[in-house]
């Protein structure tokens, strides 16, 4: 090994580590301005979301680790025609934000209350469920790409609406519909969820929370 190769070796190692670190990360959803929701086609079949099992799984991260949990649906409807997903709308119950970390007792409850904005002085840190008790998702389009359904829809959180596109598997039977997305990320600051974001606040050092939230949508619906 030459002297020049010796000094360059650490840079090659660093590049390899960075590449490995990013490998397997969830892709970012396509995000655009809201569009008109997809209309319900004539002669379509209605399926009603099972709110006991339908959830959105979330993961947030920071330099010192991650937190994960779920949000449940308040209600939702899916419309199918000729065995194909056509449209749908869902209401998210933000009061059901749950932390599924291996935490116990007060620590878990404190984190859930912080996310919900129930602790004094932090109502606007994350979701402020007293002011914004629900979120919504309305399907605006469905496309097929690499055997996956690319579901487009208007996601509204804290009265801010953005159109997002993410990949999902859709299974339709005469009695039920199942939608399960691939993992994807959204930039929380686009919905004014800015707490400890280093893209919004300066001089946070390593006391920041990453802007990207990882999501996975799991919806089951039964024929009306």
Instruction: Tell me the per-residue pLDDT of 74-108, one tens digit each, with 9 for 90 and over.
Output: 999 999 999 999 999 999 999 999 999 877 788 89
Q: Domain extents for the chain?
A: 28-223
Instruction: Tell me the per-residue pLDDT of 22-43, one tens digit each, with 9 for 90 and over.
Output: 434 889 999 999 999 988 989 9
Spatial distance between the Cα atoms of 143 and 153, rounded to a whole number of angstroms: 12
Q: Between 21 and 50, whose confidence is greater?
A: 50
Helix then strand then coil, in percent of the chain rounded to 5, is: 15, 50, 35
Query: Whole-number mean pLDDT of the chain?
Result: 89
User: What is 28-223's CATH number?
Assistant: 2.40.128.110
pLDDT at 18 over 50: no
Give how far Cα 40 sits from Cα of 46, 79, 88, 178, Å. Answer: 10, 7, 8, 18
């Amino acid at each position: 090994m030459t002297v020049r190769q010796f000094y360059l070796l650490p840079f090659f190692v660093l590049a390899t580590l960075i590449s490995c670190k990013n490998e397997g990360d969830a892709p970012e959803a396509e995000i655009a301005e809201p569009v008109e929701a997809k209309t319900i086609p004539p002669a379509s079949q209605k399926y009603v979301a099972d709110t006991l099992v339908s959830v959105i799984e979330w993961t947030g991260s920071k330099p010192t680790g991650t937190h994960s949990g779920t949000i449940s649906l308040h209600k939702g409807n899916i419309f199918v025609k000729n065995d194909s997903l056509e449209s749908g709308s869902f209401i998210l119950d933000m009061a059901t934000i749950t932390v599924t970390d291996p935490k116990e007792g007060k620590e878990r409850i404190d984190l859930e209350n912080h996310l919900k904005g129930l602790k004094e002085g932090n109502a606007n840190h994350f979701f402020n469920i007293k002011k914004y008790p629900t979120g919504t998702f309305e399907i605006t389009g469905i496309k097929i790409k690499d055997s996956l359904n690319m579901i487009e829809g208007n996601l509204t959180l804290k009265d801010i609406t953005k159109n997002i596109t993410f990949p999902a598997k859709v299974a339709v039977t005469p009695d039920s519909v199942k939608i399960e997305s691939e993992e994807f990320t959204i930039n929380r600051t686009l919905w004014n969820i800015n707490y400890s974001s280093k893209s919004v606040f300066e001089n946070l050092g390593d006391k920041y929370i990453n802007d990207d939230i990882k999501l996975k949508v799991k919806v089951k619906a039964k024929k009306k």
